[in-house]
Amino acid sequence: MDSKHHQCQSPHQVLVIKPPPAFVVHEQYISNKFQILKAYYSPLPTQDFLRANPQSVKVVLCSGVTPITAEVLRDLPALELVVTTSTGVNHVDMVECRNRGIRVTNVRDVFSDDVADVAVGLLIEVMRRISHDRFVRCGHLLGSMLGGKRIGIVGLGNIGSKVATRLQAMGCIVSYTSRQKKHTTPLTYYPTVLKLASNSDALVLCCALTKDTCHMINNKVMTDLGKNGVIVNVARGAVIDEVELVRHLVEGEIGGAGLDVYENEPNVPKELFGLDNVVVLPHSGACTKECFQDAARLVVGNLEAFFANKPLITPVSNDF
């Protein structure tokens, strides 16, 4: 993106508590259009900074690295809009936003293709051990073929649907569970994750994190998946009971895991690093230059719409 080497002196102020990755890459582009209040440069603790600068702040720009809690919202009494550079909004207190009339926007399906690619890549990595050069050194090259495997997708939204399309093209037998049966797809539907696990060789997690999906992948699900089963998670870390996942992997109770997200990010359970059947990524499924560029443009579009008193481009519904 073209940018000038100065920050805009626009009266339209946007608070950034911690810089989202997409903002870091395209900071100049965004700063050319809005006055960015950078809390992360302040020597003050975040709470003190917010309390010292609350009255003029109508917009906060965030991502999953910046939880917008009820406490944060209380320190921003003039806030009218939360703009997140993520698809998920589990890091935003949506109930408090609804109660306060604070609107929220996300980047909708900007990241879907890239995250779907990573999900499939992780599945291939775990099953075929492509990048594990230690197997070359010790001679253990035997993996599992992907074609013909029964792959269960948890959450058949934008990302899950794209994962399904990719896996079907590779000869996989794809089924799914979701909040509701999708009547527009011929894929086999299972009403519960337990039934899906019992009928799958691998689970790919693509669902949102909610109170209903937190620790959805628990001891029972992993047991039903079986000793040869594989779990790939590109959703949110807390969808899996991470303690149980580590135990099942260490004790050989499931076949392997490909993980891009973790329950207590940025911390990754240290037990995973020594396991040959685990592939870990640093929550980078959406980290491509194309994705970040599209996300930055969408963020700017929502901000411009807000300050011009026009309809937001990607509002998140507060009806839940």
User: Residue holding tokens 């499939």?
Assistant: 120
56, 61, 67, 70: CA torsion to nearest 10: 30
Count of positions (residues) in the chain: 320
How far apart (Å, rounded) are the C-alpha atoms in residues 157 and 65? 23
Q: Which two tokens stand for residue 312?
A: 């937001």
Catalytic residues: 236, 265, 283
67, 94 contact by CB (below 8 A): no
